[in-house]
Amino acid sequence: MEFHYSTYRLELKHTFTIARGSEDAADIVLVYFTKDGITGVGEAAPSDRYDEDCFSIVKRINRLTFDDIPDGGTLDEWLDAALPKAGGMRSLETAFDLALHDLYGKLNDISLSDYFGANSKKGCMTSFTIGIDEKDKIRAKVLEAEQYPLLKIKLGSDYDREIINTIRDVTDKPVRVDANEGWNLEQGKKMCDWLAQRNVEFVEQPLPADDLDDTARLREVSPLELIADENCIDSKNIPDIAYAFDGINIKLMKCGGLREAHRMIQMAKEHELKIMLGCMVETSVAITAAAHLSPLVDYADLDGNILTSNDPFDGVKVEDGMLILPDGPGLGVELHR
Ligand code: MG
């Protein structure tokens, strides 16, 4: 199997601010596996929250060989050979996993949603994310997001109520809130009560990941569902956090790709947790990959490509907020013509 990679800088339409910091661009790595003249594409979108960056990924890739991935093997055998090469860097595992799933789908003429038994070209509704910003800019962003029926609002700032009031001046559409670990228990209790009166659907990661017992205390009194993001990296976390949350946010770049994400979906259902699919700032390669699992879940926040101005790929589309999967085998993504 042949392998190559390239790096790419995704430019954001607006500076994107969350409780942890701001960014104007995101560096990603695209990887390609080729067999019998057919190429599968994958993507690593590393995050500093998990101590990963493009420089370390490229450094690692340059030390790797891929001759031991069995040409005639099954997809699981390919993944078992390739994923450990990432050395624990989950975004790089994801890149390998996506490229091999895409290649497998193309070689076997099956779309990944069919491969995972999703059996629908329609995913669920995705939210559109509004980062932390000044009031005027938030108002402008909400108006710009008019075609999205569902908003996700980043909180965990010093002026969370003003942000929500600003949004409610402009629109009454349902809102999901992501505090990105920005509150403590007392703030969380007050905010969840206050937000519950303002057409908010749920709250994502209200408290720091280390404050799991406090999160469980908040859950006992919160009128809103709590969804784990920073507390839920992969399927191993699910049994430990299920007592503190009502649901989990699965992201490919955290868990290491589609195979593990699918495992998380099954395990979350066993624990009666709601399931959301989330993303980083990513191209349509990784967003479309996650979208192939979206018919299997409750909520999606797959807008990382829409937040950028130079996505080089076409893949999943959003129509009236609904994710519409591409036709075609594998991921079904193509470079812009
Ligand atoms: Mg989040």
pLDDT in tens, 131-144: 888 999 999 999 98
pLDDT at 119 over 80: no
pTM (predicted TM-score): 0.95
Q: How far lies 167's CA from each of 16, 140, 151, in Å? A: 17, 10, 10
Q: What pLDDT score was predicted for residue 263?
A: 98
Is the separation of the CB atoms in 153 and 176 below 8 Å?
Answer: yes
Q: Which helix (H) or strand (E) holds 299?
A: strand 299-300
Distance 259 CA to ligand 1 centre (A): 21
pLDDT band of residue 191 (cuts 50, 70, 90) is: very high
Distance 59 CA to ligand 1 centre (A): 28
pLDDT band of residue 54 (cuts 50, 70, 90) is: very high
Distance 250 CA to ligand 1 centre (A): 10
pLDDT tens per residue across span 22-36: 889 999 999 999 999
Measured between alpha carbons, how far is 180 from 138 in angstroms, rounded to an integer? 18
Long-range (24+ apart) CB contacts under 8 A made by 226-232 are: 226/202, 227/202, 227/203, 227/274, 227/276, 227/299, 228/204, 229/178, 229/180, 229/204, 229/205, 229/278, 230/49, 230/180, 230/181, 230/205, 231/205, 232/264
Distance 244 CA to ligand 1 centre (A): 16
pLDDT tens per residue across span 274-301: 999 999 999 999 999 999 999 999 999 9
pLDDT at 82 over 80: yes
The neighbourhood of ligand 1, an ion, using CB within 5 A, equals: 178, 204, 229
Q: What pLDDT score was predicted for residue 5?
A: 98
What's the residue count for the chain?
A: 337
